[in-house]
Amino acid sequence: MNSLNFKSIISSALGMILIIGIYHFSFNNQNNTLKIEHISSSKGKNAVMTIDNDGELKPLSFTNTAEDVLKAVVHIKSTQIGNISNSRQQVSPRNLPDPFRDFFGDQFFRFESPRQMPNSPRIGTGSGVIINEKGYIVTNNHVIDNADDLEVTLHDNRTFKATVVGADPTTDLALIQIKAKDLPTVAMMNSEDIKIGEWVLAVGNPMGLNSTVTAGIVSAKGRNINILKEKFAVESFIQTDAAINPGNSGGALVNLDGGLIGINTAIASPTGSYSGYGFAVPSNIVNKVVEDLLTYGVVQRGVLGVMIRSVDGNLAKEKDLSQMEGAYVDSLLENSAAAASGILVGDVITKVEGKKIKSSPDLQAIIAQYRPGDNITIGINREGKQMDIKVTLINTDGNKSLIEKDSKKVLAILGAEFKTIENKLAKKMDIEGGVEVTKLFAGKLRKHTQIREGFIITKVDGQDVKSKEELIKILESKKGGVMLEGIYKDIPGEYYYAFGL
């Protein structure tokens, strides 16, 4: 008998002895009853533990939160109809500004048919979050911007047409509504309470895959990625490594209790797909925008009127600053609230209403939560000395009053917002006056003409128009066909647009 066979026999014998021993032990200790135990679920699924706000140890589980939040996250189909090949507002990857191509790839909301003919509808998809049982839904402005038709699909597969309540390009947020009641909702929480390293879930409809949940942590707060190019734009994103892809735009970022901490907005990726970084608008900013749109019909932005930079080691050395964080006042805008209150170039803003300011995005985020006319206390460091300054915020037009939204029915029919141009611009354009088209929504102008934002109306049916009030008065009395005549600031020649009221 060779050694290999001998070892095999010994191993087999030991195995039999071990089996007999275990069986004999179990048999004798179970009163001659052989017991077989069945486990209905794996005890290892909650092996990872976490500590709640009360310091209690609890199993880490996403299931209950995911189940609740999924019911309140919707799929949005945005359809743009008409000849969009000649429209400046068309959303095409080749026509996106460089920052949007860098962060969104082909587009952060997914196009279903990238090779469409110029006159065919262009369809994009995104996500939204139900925040009120009466059908109010928060999403991104870039999801619904320029849409002629919005269709919302709920988690239970019901579909509804949606209308735009209002939008704010400066934060890339929009509020839409569907005619439905008793809907599941997601409650907003204070995004300032979120801590770096905290578990979060991203819920949305990425890559055409409805009702998708991904998990990650808060990677950073107060991120400015220079994605929004609007004047007075606010960027103070929550950064997360929860997987976010095209189609997630407008979806929910929630904590483990299911509280809304942000609206997923952008990704940092060279390919347009997930590469480890996603960005969400904090819920505190979302809450302010929603309140303003519901209360005033337009976002009321309190403006400080400063050009700022985040303080770091290099800037501190360059400017001989005594601290390494805060928002450095690089310059003051004309007629700014900051200048009127005594803030100077070279000051470092360190606090707003007692809240610490570590960077310029921190300052943007906090100021964005206030309205024109609000009085706030700003802490500054001036040449090493700390002091408090009282500031009354102004609006984007330079005064302290709230901005009134035009409620004229004719403007809703046209689907546009207008403003009277300043005398300085009128002289530069060599015209006596005019009315600029500042924003286009779904309406007659976009549906029946190729008019673009920035068009300055000088005449209606041959009649001179010098103010927004004149324009409204003329249009309210019109029936049938209307001819708009005007110019663009950056394109030579006169342009005419005809449509029927």
Query: Which positions are catalytic?
Result: 142, 172, 249
CA distances from 422 to 159, 466, 494 (A): 45, 10, 19
DSSP E strands, 169-293: 173-178, 199-204, 212-223, 237-240, 252-254, 260-267, 278-282
DSSP codes, 265-328: EEE--SSSS-SS-EEEEEHHHHHHHHHHHHHTSS----B--EEEEE--HHHHHHHT-S-S-SEE
CB atoms within 10 A of CB 310: 18
CA distances from 13 to 10, 19, 26 (A): 5, 10, 20
- Quote the tokens at residue 462: 């041959």
> What is the rounded distance in angstroms from the CA atom of residue 231 to the CA atom of residue 233?
5
Half-sphere exposure of 231 (CA within 13 A, CB side): 8
DSSP E strands, 4-109: 49-51, 57-59, 73-80
Backbone angles phi, psi at 200, to 5 degrees: -140, 160
> What is the rounded distance in angstroms from the CA atom of residue 491 to the CA atom of residue 426?
15
User: What 3 state SS string does 328-389 have?
Assistant: EEEEECCCCHHHHHCCCCCCEEEEECCEECCCHHHHHHHHCCCCCCCEEEEEEEECCEEEEE
CA distances from 9 to 17, 21, 483 (A): 12, 18, 102
On whether the CB atoms of residues 279 and 298 are closer than 8 A, the answer is no
On whether the CB atoms of residues 127 and 247 are closer than 8 A, the answer is yes
Please give the torsion angle defined by the CA atoms of residues 429, 434, 435 and 438, in that order, rounded to the nearest 10 degrees.
0
CA distances from 316 to 157, 320, 343, 360, 487 (A): 56, 5, 19, 14, 47
Please give the torsion angle defined by the CA atoms of residues 343, 347, 349 and 351, in that order, rounded to the nearest 10 degrees.
-80
- Quote the tokens at residue 483: 């001819």
